[in-house]
Amino acid sequence: GAVVSQHPSRVICKSGTSVKIECRSLDFQATTMFWYRQFPKQSLMLMATSNEGSKATYEQGVEKDKFLINHASLTLSTLTVTSAHPEDSSFYICSADRGTDSYEQYFGPGTRLTVT
């Protein structure tokens, strides 16, 4: 149990367009979902924390108008990269937990975004 999926696994978009990445918890309800960004050969950098039904909490330096996060249900969170630029090209990973009594985060497989 505790599987998290992401869609798409890989996406290429043109500069200036927007792209949406979905994160789903398949067999559990995720109170909180997290969005990370990973640069090549670097660590995971937390971008934002999203709770179902409320606004996401963004980490310092992350533009909330650039990276729109919607957590509409207990099983789905979406990250929309708006007006994408080549520097937004990266590996985006989501994770989810079961709630405050659960310490473990369950990670998705990641989405490779390439902006041309």
Partner 1 sequence: AQRVTQPEKLLSVFKGAPVELKCNYSYSGSPELFWYVQYSRQRLQLLLRHISRESIKGFTADLNKGETSFHLKKPFAQEEDSAMYYCALNPYYGGATNKLIFGTGTLLAVQP
Two tokens, residue 88: 């937004």
Shortest gap between Cβ of 36 and partner 1 (angstroms)?
A: 8
97 binds partner 1 (CB under 8 A): yes
Q: Kindly state the smallest distance separating residue 50's Cβ from partner 1, in Å.
A: 11
Give SS3 for 78.
strand
Interacting residues with partner 1 between 52 and 91 (CB under 8 A): none
Q: Which of 70, 82, 89, 102 binds partner 1 (CB under 8 A)?
A: 102
Amino acid at 34: F
Among 7, 107, 112, 114, binds partner 1 (CB under 8 A): 107
Q: Are the C-beta atoms of 47 and 94 separated by less than 8 Å?
A: no
CB 72, min distance to partner 1, A: 20
Are residues 106 and 2 in contact, defined by beta-carbon separation less than 8 angstroms? yes
Vertex 25, ends 22 and 27: CA angle to 5°?
150
Question: What are residue 87's phi and psi, to 5 degrees?
Answer: -70, -10
| Residue ranges that bind partner 1, judged by CB under 8 A | 4, 32, 34, 41-46, 49, 93, 95, 97, 100, 102-105, 107-110
